[in-house]
Structure 1
């Protein structure tokens, strides 16, 4: 393990990052006094760190031996070490619209670790389905652009806010049911998640690996908040009546795009 995690009871597939630097930046991102272009600058720093953690911990490694600029002067002496295995496959999934910029960041980052021909970016246009009381009841996948199979690939889904889990569940359902091949791993990369999100996603897809920089359960009772995360999972609450995260940071799709619809 290359970084600290918050102790919790959500199971081994959930990784809640404990990093004061990133926590401070995320708090700044959630402030009502933070606007563009600072918003996307903060998102870039946060997701660069997050994808680095995921590659380090979830991807295979290989040994390497290469010459350096000094090898000509000292023949036979080369650099040896380990690195991310370059022939692995990866797919970044853009969940428009909050996930568009994070997916692009992760897609670009992967080119420094893997062979470019083994990386691609897919696109899913998803929208919440709500009832008359504005509660989320599901996800509508408006259209998709899938560039091939996912056989043996790490499928990365960067989506800033893991609120209800409906979009992630629907997207993974689509890959498992409609896209050829069996993915090596489905990995979700979030800035914030709720206990409700974790329960819904892991119930539907217990094979998913989840990384998040923060867990928000701000509407839980005070006694629950004093307990370790997940110890009283069924009593934890991070969503308000409109299924927005509390304390959260508002609608990230809105603030990242300056489009409040």
Structure 2
């Protein structure tokens, strides 16, 4: 074995913050550039969905590099026919790891499908599964969104000892994802190997909600939006004045954000 591959010391490039170890904000100029384009009002179909695909391909690779178990592998190359040294030995991602990706309709449908396809290309497809949840918002008498509930599901079985991914592009209040995570914990039981959220954008409010409700869950995002914070807070490292940070408008939309991704993905404005 060549010693350089015996133990991979992979380090994710991420933005420094004070939200804790389970929160990861990627420091990726390519993704930030593509995400800024995605959030621009000039971008519609079909470019919008294509950009979502490109960004989730990048995001799920980052998650696999950091979070997926590895093993020592031996792989014969084509040169093995000519030399007994034509063998690669080293640490690789363990392709027998069981993984579930959860489609939270409707904004999460395309991201989950992208992750599912990417996982099938790397892992043993027999150990990769895609589940589907339909969720509905819960409002109070003032028509304010106060939570979410699961109104339908197609779940393929238990999640014990599996990595469970929740690809949902816009992490705003965190109520929907928190409900989805609770659904798996409460209804299906077992102990997943890891539960991971994959967001294109999330807010300080989202991080706080997930960390409060599910401190075991790991969060990944391409961008943190806290655009409703004061100029003084924006000048500090994220999380320094967490209680003063905000990324949500009064209507609950992310700022600067990119509008309603579910509507944009489907050209359905309801």
Contact 2:12–2:66 (CA under 8 A) maintained in structure 1: no
TM-score by length of 2: 0.94
Structure 1 counterpart of 2:66: 57
Contact 1:138–1:167 (CA under 8 A) maintained in structure 2: yes
TM-score by length of 1: 0.97
Structure 2 counterpart of 1:240: 249
Q: Which runs of 4+ in 1 moved over 4 A?
A: none
Contact 2:24–2:219 (CA under 8 A) maintained in structure 1: yes
Of 178-187 and 49-58, more deviation after overlay is shown by 178-187
The gaps in structure 2 that reach 5 residues or longer are 1-9
Contact 1:135–1:243 (CA under 8 A) maintained in structure 2: no
TM-fit CA distance, 1:132: 4.3
Structure 2 counterpart of 1:253: 262
State whether structure 2 residue 151 is matched by structure 1 residue 131.
no
TM-fit CA distance, 1:131: 2.8
Give SS of 1:259's match. coil
Alpha-carbon distance in 2 for matches of 1:237, 1:50: 24
The gaps in structure 1 that reach 5 residues or longer are none
Q: Of 204, 207, 210, which aligns to 2:216?
A: 207
Deviations 1:161-183 (A, max 9, x none): 00000011101111001014211
CA RMSD of aligned residues (A): 1.1
TM-fit CA distance, 1:10: 0.4
Deviations 1:164-209 (A, max 9, x none): 0001110111100101421111100000000001001110000000
Deviations 1:42-86 (A, max 9, x none): 111100000000001001111111222111111353122221112
Alpha-carbon distance in 1 for matches of 2:246, 2:141: 22
Distance 1:112 1:142, change over 3 A: same
Contact 1:10–1:230 (CA under 8 A) maintained in structure 2: yes
TM-fit CA distance, 1:141: 1.1
Give SS of 2:135's match. strand
